[in-house]
Amino acid sequence: MTLSPAERASLPTYPISRECPYRPSTGHDPLMASGPLTRVRLYNDRTAWLVTGVAEARALLSDYRRVSIRNRGPGYPLLNKEMEKVVDSGYADVLFGVDPPEHTRQRQMIMPPFTLRRTARLRPDIQQIVDEKLDAMEAHGKPADLVTLFAQPVPSMVMSFLLGVPYEENEQFEVPAHKLFVPELAEEATAELGEYLDGLIGRKEAAPGQGRTGLLDDLITGHLHKGELTRDELVHIAMSMLVAGTDTTTNVISLGTLALLDNREQWEALRDDIDLIPGAVEEILRYVSLVEAFARVAIEDIEVGGVTIQAGDGILISCAGVNFDEAWAADPDAFDIRRPARPSFSFSHGIHRCPGDNLARLELEIAFRTLVQRFPDLRPAVPISEMESNNNDGTLQRLYSFPVTW
């Protein structure tokens, strides 16, 4: 449906900035009230369908024959200039930005270490990493920055361990990984990270089995050397997993801790009954709704939720909408870790569901369990209003620092 300039200008703008760093804006409420699908206007004056209904979200994320994740087409909805630069950099040209059969082939290669059974074996290693980082935070003294001393290094070390990336070289991959989400630095960051990973792959090929080994080594011997994977694909897969597997979990740890501390009765409930941890993790994932929306584009006309999405239309599956839909959670505006543990929509749905969801849940469970046991009197050292966050510009919500005391 072609909209007139006046009709386009009258559409609600999206994304919606957060008033509170750890939960989506209540500005989503009128959009949700208007129905499960709403047309919205983006920063570049393009439009997209915002999907806030649970049933409609499931249907569209499962419909990979008529709904594409390819981010290079004209209809694909980008939420800001930053995401435009990230797409242009080539960062998402594998896994997150391809459809079957490419996606199926790549996903099958990386999935073995992410099964529930294989992930569970990492519990002692993750616990050791968490303990070491909390020891370091305690030794640092108060106040301490929870982001740089705990939330950031834990996922980075876990992913390094799983991939077989030497963590002692962390600056060579963490620095460009952080620069990746600065629009003017995205292409430079992708090049730097790609150069480092290409060099690491070369070192692993020259001395197989030596040093830290992991999934990267398995992909080299099991797929690269058999011609089932190109070197460029391998570099981009390693890049995507290293960045996505650290940045998301880092932000959930910091924002989830803030949510618990700002709702003190919830922190105290978890402190007094640590068996609430599975439900607490799911509630944090739901309430934080870290990813603003999952972007797709229709490749055929689709009838859903009482509207027709036309071929070429952009689609945004709203985490805030689905996770706060009353059909998904009773009294959704309440932050309540006592809810029965129910997987949120935060890892997406369908064939593009996050492959590392088992690992992320395990990391979050260990991180929150150990944090509340080690620091039962933890509290923010500054008011929330003084904490620097990106206020959700359409990318991952994050705290840049989180001073705490105890």
Selection from 15-19, 122-126, 246-250 with the highest mean pLDDT? 122-126
CA torsion sign for 375, 271, 266, 358 is positive
pTM of the model: 0.94
The residue range of the domain holding 39 is: 5-405
As given in the structure block, the two tokens for residue 154 are 């834990």
Q: Cα separation of 286 and 329, whole Å?
A: 9
Per the CB < 8 A criterion, the answer to whether 114 and 358 are in contact is yes
What angle, 0 to 180 degrees and rounded to 10, lies between the N-to-C axes of helices 153-163 and 123-140? 150
Range with the lowest mean pLDDT among 65-79, 256-270, 391-405? 391-405
- Which CATH number covers residue 366? 1.10.630.10
Would you say residue 3 has pLDDT above 90? no
Quote the pLDDT of residue 394: 62
For the stretch 319-347, pLDDT in tens is 989 999 998 888 999 999 999 878 888 99
Question: Alpha carbon of 297 to those of 8, 60, 77, 81, 377: distances in Å?
Answer: 19, 10, 7, 18, 47
Q: How confident is the model at residue 20 (pLDDT cuts 50, 70, 90)?
A: very high
* Number of domains observed in the structure of the chain: 1
- At which residue do the structure tokens 């919830």 appear? 266
Alpha helical stretches, state H, 2-121: 5-9, 28-33, 54-62, 81-89, 102-110, 116-120
